[in-house]
Amino acid sequence: MEILVASAVGILTAAGLYLVMRLRTFPVILGVSLLTYAVNVFLFASGRLTIGAPPILTDAETYADPLPQALVLTAIVISFGMTAVVVMISLGSYLGSNDDGVNDPLLDKDEDLS
């Protein structure tokens, strides 16, 4: 199971980073979403991977660490909200300037003002 989770985190991160470097808002937002999925799985795994164990302290020998699950919930909510915000802002930017590039425009608007 470790190899499965680890490769999932790795592939998601790699794909996310690749998309982030596309520098157009739509792929970048998808890339950021993939990265947040990766980090959610990573956070979840930070409490060690256990199967079929009760989530809180009981008399059982092994138990699943409940804290990372709480952390992941918080992280999911926050990243969901942030993605919504960035979609709105980039949509506004795209509709306003008819350009979905993330970088500053290349042409230097250096009109002669004097």
User: What single DSSP character describes residue 95?
Assistant: H
What gap in Å lies between CA 100 and CA 96, rounded to an integer? 10
CA 12 to chain centre: 9
Q: How far is the CB of 68 from other proteins (least distance, A)?
A: 7
Q: Is 92 in the site for other proteins (CB under 8 A)?
A: yes
Longest Cα separation, the chain: 81
Q: Is 35 in the site for other proteins (CB under 8 A)?
A: yes
Residue 51 or 94 with smaller CB distance to other proteins: 94
Among 4, 56, 58, 96, binds other proteins (CB under 8 A): 96
Residue labelled with tokens 């999911």: 76
What gap in Å lies between CA 6 and CA 67, rounded to an integer? 20
What gap in Å lies between CA 44 and CA 65, rounded to an integer? 9
Q: Is 68 in the site for other proteins (CB under 8 A)?
A: yes
Q: Is 114 in the site for other proteins (CB under 8 A)?
A: yes
**Where does this chain bind other proteins (CB under 8 A)?**
20, 25, 28-29, 32, 35-36, 38-39, 42-43, 45-48, 67-68, 71, 74-75, 78-79, 81-83, 85-86, 89-90, 92-93, 96-97, 102-104, 110, 113-114
